[in-house]
Amino acid sequence: MEFKDHFKNIPCLETVRLKLNAFEREDMEEYFEILRDNRVQKYLGGGVPLFDKEPNITNWLNNVNDRLLKRRVVFTWCVGDKADGRILGRIDLGGFVKREMAEISYHYAYEVRGKGIATEAAKRVTEFGLNDLGLWRIQGLVHIQNAASIRVLEKVGYVREGVLHHYPFGREFHDVVMMAMVKEKPPG
């Protein structure tokens, strides 16, 4: 399958405990509850805007499930618990550069922190990026004070490449840690 062929719809990805799907209207209220939690917003660079009214909900769903996908900008997955169907968070893979590089980002409900959910989802999305899309590099920018998120990416195999000072992060500027997973290119 060619790179472009992956962008027809959000692929369903699964792990032992998780199901990563396209967001649907019925997921939105649970997702908004996650976004309303200031503990979740703390390291998101000014926060993710709450767009919990119409027509904003419809526009956002159309953007992430169609417009941005078809333009090959980003995959946005709703992360759900396979056992009970609860919405646990969101993970993105986007910012594609020359079909070789992308950036991973995520946020989850505060109550699932420390349970391996973020690590499990990041591992699966990283595998999708490297193996299915054929990317050579996936990077993640993490707020320098967000030690838990740095650990998530380290557990998946990402390496700290350095600190970017006063760097654009969300809607603000912060010191961030550049984490990256780089696949070794064959010689020649």
Query: Domain locations in the chain?
Result: 3-134
31 is written with which tokens? Answer: 């997702």
Query: What is the reported pTM?
Result: 0.95
Fold classified for 3-134 = Aminopeptidase (3.40.630)
> What is d(CA 148, CA 23) in angstroms, rounded to the nearest whole number?
25
* C-beta separation of 79 from 121 below 8 A: yes
Position 186 pLDDT exceeds 80: no
Q: Which residue has the tokens 């070789």?
A: 100
Mean pLDDT of the chain: 95
Convert the pLDDT of each residue in 69-125 to its tens digit: 999 999 999 999 999 999 999 999 999 999 999 999 999 999 999 999 999 999 999
List, in sequence order, every beta strand (DSSP E) within the chain.
13-14, 18-21, 74-81, 87-97, 101-108, 137-143, 159-169, 172-182
Q: Map residue 125 onto helix, strand or coil.
A: helix
Convert the pLDDT of each residue in 124-133 to its tens digit: 999 999 999 9
Convert the pLDDT of each residue in 29-46 to its tens digit: 999 999 999 999 999 987
